[in-house]
Amino acid sequence: MNFLDGIFSFHISLYNAQQTSEAIIRLKVPRHEQESVLLFYAKIMAFIHSYHTQLQFQSNIRSSEEIIASTPEDYFGSMPQKLFVGAPSPRALKAFARQGKELGPNAVRGYCYEPIQVEAICTTLKGSSSNWIEPLTFFRIDHKFLQELSDLETGKQRWEVTIVENHHLYLSNNHRQLEIGPPKISNLETNIPEIDIWATFQGLIAI
């Protein structure tokens, strides 16, 4: 039996400078007893990062095997259409890749929030002669930032989020300022950087 750890309300004022768009996002998200805090907040941040008005959050999803946000079936735009988080099983990952091939570039996005998840996805590619994972777009969310968010947790949360060039993201949580910038030990320009999984895999097998 699954028990709820609580139901959390989010009121998010989002400004995306890259898209010159503004939105108010309201979510009520249950957290299950066996769901990790990092996974819970990774789902929220993935949704914010890819947000557009047709994208719908699936509040009861608590597994990397499932899509955490999607668009209606009659949506035919060029914005992200399906999101997942973590490291899915090989079977689920291949299913997501098939969906990505059908829907087009950038339609299916995956978000890793721990380094071991990138390694796990690369392991799935072992023995592959072709880049079958290419239809998927991957990003990395800093797990330390997710932990920092959880430390500020309240039942009702009000966030002001600004996304600027290169996916640099600022977040104000209940008037307490946090700046989310590039990792300190990294040459990446973005806070939620895109990951080239195939290139990462090729680098690992070359070692």
Residues above pLDDT 90, as percent of the chain: 49
Cα pseudo-dihedral 166, 12, 141, 2, rounded to 10: -160
Stated pTM of the model? 0.87
Stated length of the chain? 207
How many structural domains is the chain composed of? 1
pLDDT at 116: 94
- pLDDT tier at 186 (50, 70, 90 boundaries)? very low
- pLDDT tier at 190 (50, 70, 90 boundaries)? very low
- pLDDT tier at 185 (50, 70, 90 boundaries)? very low
pLDDT digits over 44-90, tens only? Answer: 999 999 999 999 999 877 778 889 999 998 888 888 899 999 999 99
Domain that holds residue 102: 4-206
Q: Which two tokens stand for residue 61?
A: 């999803």
Q: What CATH code is carried by the domain that includes residue 24?
A: 3.10.640.10
Q: Tell me the pLDDT of the chain averaged across its residues.
A: 84
Pairing verdict, β 108-112 and 82-85: parallel
